[in-house]
Structure 1
Amino acid sequence: MAAVVSWIAGSVQEILLISGLTAQTCLVFCAAFLLAYVLLKRPQNLPPYPAGRVPVLGHLLALGRAPHLKLTAWRRQYGDVFTVRMGMEDVVVLNGYTAVKDALVDRSELFASRPPVYLFDAFGKNKDILTGHWDTGFKQRKRFSTTVLKNLGMKVGRGSIEEKIVEEAKFLHNRVAEYEGKPFDIAHDVTVTVANVICTMTFGKRYDYEDESFQVLSEAVTAVGTELAAGQIISVFPSLRFVPGVNRVGTNLVEHLSKLQRVLWEELSRHREHLDRENPRDFLDFGLLEVERQEKVEGLTEEIVIYLTQNIFVAGTETTADTLLWALLYLTQNPAIQHKVQQELDAVVGASLPALSHRSQLPYVNACLLETLRIRTLVPLSAPHATTQDVKVQQFDIPKGTQVLPNLHSLHTDPAYWPDPDRFDPERFLDAEGNVINKPESFMPFSGGRRVCLGEQLARMELFLFFSTLLQSFSFKTPEGAPPPNTDGVLGITLTPYPFQLCATPR
């Protein structure tokens, strides 16, 4: 044995001398080779790669600025389950109702975690709901937040926040009336209206449309979405955040989140000074009480309360505001549908204010909103999921911790469920008797399972009341001579319409 070891050592030394390498150089080379092998080694039996993968970048160039469209196109060629290479990481994409429902609903806990994504983690550092990994802390935070929001009115019936939403709908109505039928961009007014509902629930106050503090909040929320979309390359290659110039997007995102958090910290300080422990008024009050008591969320801190509030504010504002904008945009392009909505409102609501009690009597109004949620999925790729253990999907093996993207856009544009999917047609959501089909197959606008949208019920209440109030009082159209608005959208946190103007004529 000693002779064999001596022979191997002598052979290695001879090779080093012949090649001119030192032992240290050889070790460095071997270490680099092993590291590259580990990083680049593809796990066995992963779903296939589509064409278009290049070294280092993977499929980033092929995906472009509308990845949901490219992934849906690839589905026709590669099937419901395939793998895209994002830099040095494999990401499994699920397409179609069967595959997505299997993961998000039927086997929800197996896909309920979050992967480490640099820019995404800036929202909460795994201490919130949006970015939290699947563990006891996340479950406690989500359960606590859901309970508090229900206590604050995120429900139908007694104790509902309906009255506050109706009040904000009146403010929006009056604001739109001030334009006197002239062309205007309604985006800011809609954002203020939706955000004021969230502000009331989170820190107990509303803002005027031109309030400076709210300008900071709304601009920060909008900018966060923009920077998140632009910063995809840094999420894929986090080390680029140290490269001057390239790191601008990441720096801007952190800056805008810091602006938002400063406002929230100021509100939290005021709440701490005037806390009535027997009568909590809003989410910050409930959060401060839980920090003191530690009854429902172990280890809750004020920092975590800020992250949770930020989640509610950003997610609750962008999604609802953008859906309402899409609904108005599509109605300007479909005057016959708009007229039918108004006829139904006139017949059921008349001159009174729309209320949630009217919802069951307004099937076509509801169908319009559902069709908006379908044709322009607000978060077309959901938020990134991660597997909590090794799992089999169809015939493929997905390792624990693998990032998974559910392509919700593919569900909502699947011709097997939605004939002529690019056409805006509310009739899809009505049965033969004219009743609303609330939960059709291949329709998951708020995602599903353990990671379903926390504020789904609130969003549905707001959309119905804001939409009904506006269509009851105004007819909307594209300004005379203006080209039809672009319906492609810009993908950030949500799929946002390009800026557009409309005219609101009093009825």
Structure 2
Amino acid sequence: MYSLSMLIVLGGLLGLYVLWKSKAPRAPLPPGPKGLPIIGNVGSDLPRGGKDWEHWLKHKDLYGPISSVTTAGHTHIILNDANVATELLEKRSARYSSRPRMVMAHELSGSDIFVTVQNDHATVRAQRKCILSQLRSENALSSFYPQVDMVIRRFLLRVLQEPDKLIDHVKTGIGGVILKVAYGYTVEFHDHDPLVDLVSKTAFAFGRINQPTGYLVDSIPALKYLPSWFPGARFKKEAQEYRRGFDALANWPFAFARHQIKEGTHEPSFVSRLIEQKGSLLSPEEELKIKCSAASVYQAGYDTTASTITSFFLAMALFPAAQHRAQEEIDRVVGARLPTPDDRGKLPYVNALINEVLRWNPVVQIGIMHATTEDDIYEGYLIPKGASIVPNIWAFAHDPDVYSDPMSFRPERFLASDGHTPERDPHTLVFGFGRRICPGRPLVDFNSFLTIARSLAVFQIRKAMKDGREIDPIIDYQEGIVGHLSPFEVSIQSRSTEHEALIRSIEVEDSISRGDSAVLESVRV
């Protein structure tokens, strides 16, 4: 046995060691604005909604490619350089693949049902594996092509019939593709669809609550104990509303798919295939995994693809030369039909144009934050355990050291030619880094190509006219992490009577086709 005196000596040595460790010099945090005691940079040093990426980009001029702020003892590391992001979030992904636990996103609103913000590593791995088992590549998605083909053709018809409602048609068309793939659900093209309306609301909520420092309660967690009636505690009511939306998004379309499978009337889908693979062995845990995985596919796939397609239509009105060159390529390669997935490899300029849309207006302006699982040192700076890492995707995509003349729209930057090496593929920036790359990216890419290539094939997109004069569309963005444009006006017409006939070839089928909203209402949860 140890003597009392020896225990006292050991205790004293341990105390001295702890004291020495607390006094030992540590590497400094990356530079940033000087904060106040206790609260740190809470206040004017942080963005509060709006264009976060513009606020954080100012740090690059002031502090360099990596900077930091603190909020009530919590460290945020701001990355304004793609090479720094690649080094930390990809090459050191073992330390940087977690997500910060945010009060609003996780504790109050329940948005952690989505794999994109989930920070339990076992859950993340299980859901990613589930998604990738069905949506890993365009080859895997090809089996859904007949259903997707019909939805996109109906989208083209709606745009032709009511071009002034472009944004609504994009929401319905993009939502229709993803709902068909995820759940085998047919949207209502003749009226508002309840699931499209629902995801529009939840997408807005998701973007707001996952903004870095977007809610004060994330900087000062004790505020979560305020009653919802207390002045300044409106976030509590918002969180309750958001939670109802997220729960409905996970449960309602899943209940529809389950009902259709039970009735034997289902179409092949992400959900039906996974359930059929398990058969009678489907446990409650497996069902929850499939349900949350499908909700993640719908939420993220809808949000990012809708942003891409609206950005495309605006870009074509602003940059007609790029539109004309893409149309010439489609006419030469595809001819008088609609492009299919098999045409993609023969349309290099169209692919370059899609890349430029992604770069010019990234689908995600501020990446969803990563979190460190242990201390790290980068260029002499301390990245402490638990820090939130904020990748400024807009800054990466408009960096003049990476992209020549970054404010210009130039698809040819991605084409190899004599004396020109293609610039960095924006897919490596906008869909995440390391172990948190978006698992639904192949579906977004598949959907974006078909929608954009077919729109180029049949439409002429121009600036809107008023009193005989062109109207320059206003480029502005909605609040949130996804690059959703504010409403804008453009002119959309068929390129010719032959192209109009090609679009209208689906009219008879469209007129008798009905969506699944009636069945959906019967299984409302």
**TM-score of the two chains, using structure 1 as the length reference:** 0.81
Q: CA deviation at 1:196?
A: 1.2
Q: Does structure 2 conserve the Cα–Cα contact (< 8 Å) formed by 1:342 and 1:472?
A: yes
Q: CA deviation at 1:105?
A: 1.6
1:456 paired to 2:438: no
1:155 paired to 2:141: no
% same residue: 23
1:18 alignment counterpart: none
Query: What number of residue pairs does the alignment pair up?
Result: 458
2:251 alignment counterpart: 265
Aligned letter for 1:142? R
Gaps spanning 5+ residues in structure 2: where? Answer: 1-22, 496-525
Query: How far apart, CA to CA, are the structure 2 residues paired with 1:178 and 1:484?
Result: 23
1:47 alignment counterpart: 29
Q: CA deviation at 1:291?
A: 9.8
Query: Which residue of the other structure, out of 180, 195, 202, is the alignment partner of 1:214?
Result: 195
1:144 alignment counterpart: 130
1:469 paired to 2:454: yes
Q: CA deviation at 1:422?
A: 1.2
Q: CA deviation at 1:498?
A: 1.0
Q: Does structure 2 conserve the Cα–Cα contact (< 8 Å) formed by 1:129 and 1:141?
A: yes
1:487 paired to 2:475: yes
Query: Which residue of the other structure, out of 374, 377, 382, is the alignment partner of 2:367?
Result: 382
1:169 alignment counterpart: 152
Q: Using a 3 Å threshold, how does the CA distance of structure 1 residues 264 and 144 change in structure 2: closer, same or farther? A: closer
1:293 paired to 2:284: no
**Aligned with 1:503: secondary structure?**
strand
Query: Which residue of the other structure, out of 340, 344, 368, is the alignment partner of 1:355?
Result: 340
Alignment of 1:14-25 (within 5 A): none
1:187 alignment counterpart: 167
Range 323-332 or range 484-493, more displaced: 484-493
Query: How far apart, CA to CA, are the structure 1 residues paired with 2:427 and 2:302?
Result: 25
Q: Does structure 2 conserve the Cα–Cα contact (< 8 Å) formed by 1:363 and 1:434?
A: no
**Aligned with 1:61: secondary structure?**
coil
TM-superposition CA deviations, 1:73-113 (whole Å, max 9, x none): 21133122211224542111222122111112211121000
Q: Does structure 1 conserve the Cα–Cα contact (< 8 Å) formed by 2:130 and 2:293?
A: no
Q: Using a 3 Å threshold, how does the CA distance of structure 1 residues 118 and 432 change in structure 2: closer, same or farther? A: same
Query: Which residue of the other structure, out of 199, 210, 221, is the alignment partner of 2:179?
Result: 199
Range 283-292 or range 445-454, more displaced: 283-292
**TM-score of the two chains, using structure 2 as the length reference:** 0.78
**Aligned with 2:138: secondary structure?**
coil
1:236 paired to 2:209: no
1:133 paired to 2:133: no
Q: CA deviation at 1:476?
A: 1.1
Q: Using a 3 Å threshold, how does the CA distance of structure 1 residues 286 and 460 change in structure 2: closer, same or farther? A: same
1:331 paired to 2:316: yes
1:113 paired to 2:98: yes
Query: How far apart, CA to CA, are the structure 1 residues paired with 2:347 and 2:427?
Result: 23
Query: How far apart, CA to CA, are the structure 1 residues paired with 2:428 and 2:346?
Result: 22
Q: Does structure 2 conserve the Cα–Cα contact (< 8 Å) formed by 1:50 and 1:84?
A: yes
Query: Which residue of the other structure, out of 431, 453, 456, is the alignment partner of 1:446?
Result: 431
Alignment of 1:306-345 (within 5 A): 306-345=291-330
Q: Using a 3 Å threshold, how does the CA distance of structure 1 residues 380 and 266 change in structure 2: closer, same or farther? A: closer
1:19 alignment counterpart: none
Gaps spanning 5+ residues in structure 1: where? Answer: 1-40
Aligned letter for 1:173? L
Query: How far apart, CA to CA, are the structure 1 residues paired with 2:24 and 2:300?
Result: 35
Query: How far apart, CA to CA, are the structure 1 residues paired with 2:42 and 2:363?
Result: 23
Q: CA deviation at 1:387?
A: 0.9
2:494 alignment counterpart: 506
Q: CA deviation at 1:126?
A: 4.8
2:523 alignment counterpart: none
Range 326-335 or range 164-173, more displaced: 164-173
TM-superposition CA deviations, 1:232-291 (whole Å, max 9, x none): 333333443435353334533442442353354244345445546999943334565659
1:35 alignment counterpart: none
Kindly report the root-mean-square deviation, in angstroms, between the aligned alpha carbons of the 2 structures: 3.3
Q: Does structure 2 conserve the Cα–Cα contact (< 8 Å) formed by 1:486 and 1:497?
A: no
